[in-house]
């Protein structure tokens, strides 16, 4: 089968119906018949039935973590190629040229390198301890957007191939790192800032605008401790939804720190206290987080861990 007709779009989804609707509209704009598969956490049957009727999506209501949702979606994927997307992403152009590059063997994985900076107006006033980095794991990609030949990957490594080691050398729950380590011929899209849309990135392939990602689209609760950042994120998303598809590209600026000496940045961050440096990628202190779940939450997550082990054994 032609690779252009042999791709599925997989999206773990928690909340954020405004971005989700545009996300689905954008996929259908370029891929009217491709399978779109969603794992929805937190209920929402009426919403998901609307998407099924309107966009012909396939969905499951599943109370599980993002990683487990991703595993379930991958297991159900019916096509050779896969495009994994966050729900707060919006396709701005066809992926056919990139997909052809995969099929022709020019590279084996398409995505965005975890070398992404925050807008200066945000990090200098709110997160100075990050030195401006939203993500800093060179050589790896975020699961915001990943495209590769899933059939070949599973034939060679199986689901367990998703488990990666990451920069520290130990097994990590960032399961997409396993994909990045095993498929190591990468085609990186470049992230850019658009000031009007707050904490978000325009992802380009050369001169082609491929995708918009509105960071924290469904996880804005992680910003509640920083009221200004929460407001900037929310206002940016609202502005994007108001403007789309006619986006304001004035003030476009690189978000990958082309003038930054990456090796020195990594060393600097590694010397900082663990909680501070890990917040750049992994969020709050894990011990505090587990305490906040309560007994029911801990048992639920333990069940998810057991299920994950069973799937990957």
pLDDT at residue 277 in the model: 42
| pLDDT of 217 | 65
The pair phi, psi for residue 264, each rounded to 5°, is -65, -35
Q: Is the preceding omega at residue 14 within 30 degrees of 0, hence cis?
A: no
Q: What is the pLDDT of residue 235?
A: 86
Decide yes or no: CATH 3.90.550 for domain 3-282: yes
Per-residue pLDDT tens digits for 96-108 = 999 999 999 999 9
* Beta strands at 58-61 and 81-85: parallel, antiparallel or unpaired: unpaired
What's the pLDDT at 220?
Answer: 55
- Domain map of the chain by residue range? 3-282, 285-313
Q: How far is CA 293 from CA 161, 224, 296, 302, 305, in A?
A: 30, 17, 7, 12, 15
Q: Is the peptide bond before 245 cis (omega within 30 degrees of 0)?
A: yes
The segments of the chain whose pLDDT lies below 70 read: 1-4, 166-174, 217-229, 259-313
What is the sign of the dihedral through the CA atoms of 293, 299, 300 and 303? Answer: positive
pLDDT at 53: 98
Q: Name the percent of the chain lying above pLDDT 90.
A: 52
The whole-angstrom separation of Cα 99 and Cα 94 is 9
**Any idea what DSSP says for residue 119?**
P
Question: What H or E segment, with its residue span, contains residue 228?
Answer: helix 227-243
pLDDT for residue 182: 93
pLDDT at 309: 55
Residue 87 is predicted with a pLDDT of 94
Cα 220 to the chain's mean position, in Å? Answer: 14
């Amino acid at each position: 089968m032609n690779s252009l007709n042999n791709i599925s779009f997989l999206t773990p989804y928690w909340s954020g119906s405004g971005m989700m609707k545009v996300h689905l509209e954008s996929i259908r704009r370029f891929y009217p018949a491709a399978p779109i598969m969603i794992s929805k956490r937190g209920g929402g049957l009426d919403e998901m039935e609307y998407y099924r009727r309107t966009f012909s999506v396939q969905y499951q209501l599943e109370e599980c973590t993002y990683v487990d949702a991703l595993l379930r979606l991958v297991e159900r994927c019916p096509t050779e190629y896969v495009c994994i997307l966050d729900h707060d992403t919006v396709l701005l152009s066809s992926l056919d040229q990139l997909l052809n590059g995969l099929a022709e063997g020019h590279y084996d994985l398409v995505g965005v390198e975890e070398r992404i900076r925050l807008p200066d107006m945000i990090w200098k006033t709110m997160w100075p301890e990050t030195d401006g980095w939203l993500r800093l794991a060179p050589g790896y990609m975020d699961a915001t957007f990943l495209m590769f030949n899933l059939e070949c990957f599973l034939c060679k490594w199986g689901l367990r191939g998703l488990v990666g080691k990451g920069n520290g050398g130990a097994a990590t729950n960032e399961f997409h790192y396993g994909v990045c380590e095993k498929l190591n011929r990468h085609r990186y899209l470049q992230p850019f800032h658009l000031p009007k849309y707050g904490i978000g990135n325009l992802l380009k392939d050369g001169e082609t605008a491929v995708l918009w990602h509105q960071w924290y689209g469904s996880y804005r609760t992680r910003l509640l401790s920083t009221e200004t950042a929460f407001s900037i994120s929310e206002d940016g998303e609202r502005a994007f939804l108001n403007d789309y598809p006619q986006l304001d590209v004035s003030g476009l600026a690189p978000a990958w720190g082309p003038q930054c000496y990456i090796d020195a940045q990594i060393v600097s961050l590694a010397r900082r206290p663990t909680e501070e440096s890990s917040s750049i990628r992994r969020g709050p202190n894990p011990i505090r987080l587990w305490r906040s779940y309560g007994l029911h939450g801990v048992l639920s997550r333990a069940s998810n861990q057991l299920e994950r082990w069973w799937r990957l054994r």
